Amino acid sequence: MTKRGLVSVACATLLGGGMYFYLQSSNQPEAFPTLAVEKGTIEKQAVAVGNIVPAHSVSIKSQIDGIVGEMYVQVGEKVKQGQPLIKVRPNPTPQALTDASTDLMRSEAELESEKQKLSNLESLVRQNIIPKNYDEYVSARSAVKSAEANVLQRRQNLELIRSGEASIGDARLTSTIYAPIDGTVLNRKVEVGEPIISTESSQAATEMMSLADMNSLIFKGSVSEHDAAQLSPGMPVLLTVAPYPDTEISGVLTKVAIQSENLNSPEDSATAKSFDNGFEVEVGELKIPQEILLRSGFSSTAQITLKKSENVLTLPERALQFDGDTPNVLIPDSSEQGFHKQKVKLGLSDGINVEVLDGVKLDEEIIDNSMMAGAAHD
């Protein structure tokens, strides 16, 4: 064979081998991005948005109309039960003084009249003209006692209007308002010299300050009606507070409202909730880390655990492929298309990952269906 012939045979052989290699390579399945079946925890949660507030707070109001005379405490000050808070100075109108004086004089006149009747009857009893159990005599004695009590009440009322102080036996009515609980002064809504409306008035009483026990804090917020239907007291909760976004505070769901907040507020009220048909919830038993200081009003988010599956097989939901309502995963293989479908049975989902009850094994490779670009549907 000539030299030129040898070269031709060699070239043909190389070309043939190259074609064979190309054909073999073109038959290899396409490599798809995969992920592994893992073990993990799936939680289904409801989210509530609200604030940190004291579990117990009281609004301080006066039982008499008047003017703020003295303020004994400052905002943020801790007070003990029975500690004086505010002194109210009565500011009666001339008409109120006149009415109180007239009432007292009228009651005193009635007392004198009843005493005279009783004196006349007592004279008859002493003369044995009537017995001691005579009905009119018994009634007269009772009428005198009633009239005496009425005079005392009218006199105390006049004293209270004039000075803000009055005595009832060993007890004493006073215009000094005392702390009903141990707590912290949250706010002061009046200043010395301001007029106030009492709780006895037909108008809304003036709120002068608020006290709260800051050692017992809770979360108050709202959830949607869909979430409210799934909640019950006792469910575990994790809170995050705006000033401490990296700190989780555990607690327990203690209250779920039985009525929507929208029904609690007039539709045209400026304070109506913007939350779509929200239901109020409360979270208590907060485990607050010592290194953080919570204040009333801090905004907070509560994640309420509805259901929880621990140490279960999980997959990202994006890895699933559905035939109608039937969930599948794509398992890579050496077939021409490079994968086959495998039916799976699903459990709890948190919206990102899903529990797989059957159809796959731990660490099994699954094709990421979200990266298939329609190949799985061919």
Reported as type and span, the H/E element at residue 97 is helix 94-126
What digits encode the pLDDT tens for the residues 211-246?
Answer: 998 888 999 999 988 888 888 899 999 999 999 999
* CATH number corresponding to 34-42+309-377: 2.40.420.20
pLDDT confidence of 370, banded at 50, 70, 90? confident
Q: What is the pLDDT of residue 20?
A: 40
Domain residue ranges in the chain: 34-42+309-377, 46-54+214-308, 60-86+177-212, 94-171
Backbone angles phi, psi at 79, to 5 degrees: -125, 160
Angle between helices 135-163 and 94-126 (to 10 degrees): 160
What digits encode the pLDDT tens for the residues 96-147?
Answer: 778 878 888 999 999 999 999 889 888 888 888 888 778 888 888 888 888 8
Q: What is the pLDDT of residue 283?
A: 94
> By C-alpha distance, which of 71, 61, 51, 66 is closest to 210?
61
For 326, residues 6+ apart whose C-beta sits below 8 A from its C-beta are: 343
What digits encode the pLDDT tens for the residues 127-141?
Answer: 888 887 788 888 888
- Strands 38-54, 165-168: pairing is unpaired
* Inter-residue contact 269 to 234 (CB < 8 Å): no
Reported as type and span, the H/E element at residue 102 is helix 94-126
* Inter-residue contact 347 to 356 (CB < 8 Å): yes
What digits encode the pLDDT tens for the residues 28-70?
Answer: 455 788 888 999 988 888 889 999 999 888 899 887 788 898 9
Query: What CATH number matches the domain at 60-86+177-212, 2.40.50.100, 1.10.3720.10, 3.20.19.10, 3.30.9.30?
Result: 2.40.50.100
Share of the chain above pLDDT 90, in %: 30
Token digits of residue 115: 């005493």
Q: What is the pLDDT of residue 299?
A: 94
pLDDT confidence of 375, banded at 50, 70, 90? low
* CATH number corresponding to 46-54+214-308: 2.40.30.170
Q: What is the pLDDT of residue 305?
A: 87
Three-state DSSP state, 29: coil
Backbone angles phi, psi at 338, to 5 degrees: 90, 5
Three-state DSSP state, 232: coil
